[in-house]
Structure 1
Amino acid sequence: MNFETIGGVFERYKVKISEIRDAINFIKTLCSKVDEVRKQRVNIQLPEGKEALVSVETVKGELVVYGKVGEDNRFERIYFKTPSFTNWNGLTYAVLGEIVPDFPLCNKSFNMSYSENDR
C-alpha cells in the first residue's frame, strides 16, 4: 500500500510534501528558461486619437479600463471603472432597514474599496 491510498493525516501530509517538491522543481525548470528569453524594448508609437476599451473579470466583479492616446504618445484620457464602484449601489440596498451599528458588518460583507471611488 502506498501513502496515496491509505488516506490518514500523515499520508495526506506526505502527499502535500510531494506536491510542494513537484512545484519547486517546476519553478526551477521555468527559472532556468528565463535566461533563454531575450528581452527587447520596442518603441511603440500610437497615433493620436486612438482609443481602447478593456474589460476584465476580477474576484469582486468587472474592471473596465478606457484609454485615449494624446500628443507625444501619452494618454489624453484614461478611465477606470472598478468593481467596487459598481457594487456601491448594492450596499445601499443591503443597509436599508438595518440599524446604524450593523453598517460595518454590511459594509465588510461587500469588501468595498473606498479609495477607488475618489472622483
Structure 2
Amino acid sequence: MNEILLSILVTVLGAVVTVWLGGFVVGKVASPYADQLGVDSGLKEGGRLIGYCERLLIYVFVLANAPSAIGFLVTAKSLFRFGEVTGAEKRRHTEYIIIGTLVSFAYAVTLSYLVRWVLRISA
C-alpha cells in the first residue's frame, strides 16, 4: 500500500510542478520579450491557460507512454496559430509565441520523463 501512495504522491506532485511551476518558468523566460509586443488583443489570461493545458496534456501523454501524441498537440497549435502569424507586422508576436511554446514543451517533456523515471525506480 505504501508504494501505491508514493506513486500517487509523485504523480500529483509531478503534475503540479510541471503545470504550475512550468508557467512561472515560461513566464520568466518569455517576459523580456513581452515588452516588445505592444498592445495585445488576446484574452487576458488566455496564453497562461493554454500553457497550463499544453503542459498537462504533455504530462499525461508521457506518463501514459504515448509521447507521439505530443506531435498532434504541436500540429493542432500550429494550425490554430497559422492564420494569426502571417504578415511581416506580426513577426515579433510570432517569435514570442514560438519562444513560449518551445520553452513550455521542453520543460513539460523534461519534467514528465523525470517523473516517469522516479516512478520506475520507486516501484
- In the superposition, the TM-score normalised over structure 1's length comes to 0.28
Structure with more of its chain in helix, by fraction: 2
Asked which structure has the greater CA Rg, the reply is 1
Structure with greater contact order relative to length (CA < 8 Å, sep ≥ 6): 2
**TM-score computed with the length of structure 2 as normaliser:** 0.28
